[in-house]
Amino acid sequence: MTDGSLAHKTLFCQTFIETHRRFEPSELPWPDIDATSIDRLRSIPFWSVALAAERNAGRMVTAYADTIEDPLIREALAVQGVEEDRHARLLDVMLKTYGVSVAEKPLPPLVATERAFLDFGYEECIDSFFGFGIFGLARQIQLFVPELTDIFELVLLEEARHVTFFVNWIAYERIRRGRGAAPFTALSTGLGYLRAVKRIVTTFAPDAKDGQKTQGVGFGAEGAFALFGDVTWRSFLRSCVDENERYMAAMPAGLLTPTVLPTIAKLALAIPGRPRRTTVLPARTAAGG
């Protein structure tokens, strides 16, 4: 249902509001973890960036919600603002619980415009897709104890809800404004992703300033692959696709879900990989054992 109707708006807003879960990060069952796991947490390079990005997202979405006239959309956006702010508090509680110190990064001036929300939404589509893959790999190799991974499952489910809400909201708004035809949609979506990629690249460039390092979102951030040793791009994309399908299957029926990155990833996976060279060892003789 993407016809820009009242029924569509009610569906994507009301289901988003009704699936909001109430919990406080400080009251979650944070498990005891060993020194090796704590060292592993400390070695992850993007905590300060992720923390600042989530804090900035919470205040931006909340402020943008206050500018919306439609009461139902405003309520849904306010719920997202609460969840974005809670993501920051969850990270903060986790880091303090396990004694991981991070440098505090200053937040940029608040910009709560539709353009800012659009940029953030496309960035979140990118970041959630790759974040699903990263945490899928972490789960496969049991990078952390299951109890800690389960806590982050709460965050990832909320990220899936956020991007689902975003793509339905933007489809609704385009139709309502007379720009719902396929050529307009494809162009706008392409430009949205290009802007997001540019901002993410800028965020994690080596020479990025602190103000820029709070613009992007956190889970697909710099240095994540250092956690997985010799992971290949093919195995990473496969994890992204599989985990994305798992999370999106949990979204309410009848809603749009992001398709751009999953489609690109599936096309990339369809390209035959290079066969690995096999080294033929000389036959072992009886004398040689």
Percent of the chain residues past pLDDT 90, beyond the cut: 58
Judge whether 90 and 25 are in contact, CB under 8 Å. yes
Determine which of 69-78, 144-153, 179-188, 280-289 has the lowest per-residue pLDDT on average: 280-289
Q: What is the pLDDT of residue 264?
A: 95
Residue 190 has pLDDT above 50, yes or no: yes
Mean pLDDT of 220-234: 66
Give the tokens for residue 246.
């798992």
Average pLDDT, the chain: 85
- Specify the amino acid at residue 215: Q
* Predicted confidence (pLDDT) at residue 110 exceeds the cutoff of 50: yes
Question: What's the rounded Cα separation, in Å, for the pair 146 and 61?
Answer: 31
272-282 pLDDT, tens digit per residue, is 876 555 444 44
Q: Looking at per-residue confidence, does 201 or 184 come out higher?
A: 184
Global pTM value: 0.86
**Res 223: pLDDT:** 52
Q: Does residue 138 sit in helix, strand or coil?
A: helix
Q: What is the pLDDT of residue 161?
A: 98
Max CA distance (Å), the chain: 87
44 pLDDT band, cuts 50/70/90, is confident
**Close Cβ partners of 37 (under 8 Å, ≥ 6 residues apart):** 144, 145, 148
DSSP string, 1-27: --S--HHHHHHHHHHHHHT-----GGG
For residues 25 and 201, the model is more confident at 25
When pLDDT is averaged across residues 158-178 and rounded to a whole number, the result is 95
Q: Provide CB contacts within 8 A for 232, sequence distance 6+.
A: none
pLDDT recorded at residue 282: 45
| Mean pLDDT value across residues 178-207 | 80
State the pLDDT confidence band at 207, using cuts at 50, 70 and 90: low
Rounded Cα–Cα distance for residues 162 and 26 (Å): 22
Give the mean model confidence (pLDDT) for residues 20-42: 93
| Rounded Cα–Cα distance for residues 22 and 54 (Å) | 18
The stretch 107-135 carries a mean pLDDT of 93
pLDDT of 50 > 50? The answer is yes
Per-residue confidence at 287, pLDDT binned at 50, 70, 90? very low
Q: Which of 145, 69, 64 is nearest to 110 (CA)?
A: 64
170-191 average pLDDT score: 89
Q: Which two tokens stand for residue 87?
A: 């993501």
Query: Which pair of tokens denotes residue 279?
Result: 């080294």
* Dihedral sign of CA atoms 51, 57, 5, 16 in order: positive
Across 38-59, average pLDDT:
88
- The residue type at 222: E
Do 41 and 100 meet the contact criterion of CB atoms below 8 Å apart?
A: yes
Residue range 76-92, pLDDT digits in tens: 999 999 999 999 999 99
**Residue 132 reports pLDDT greater than 90:** yes
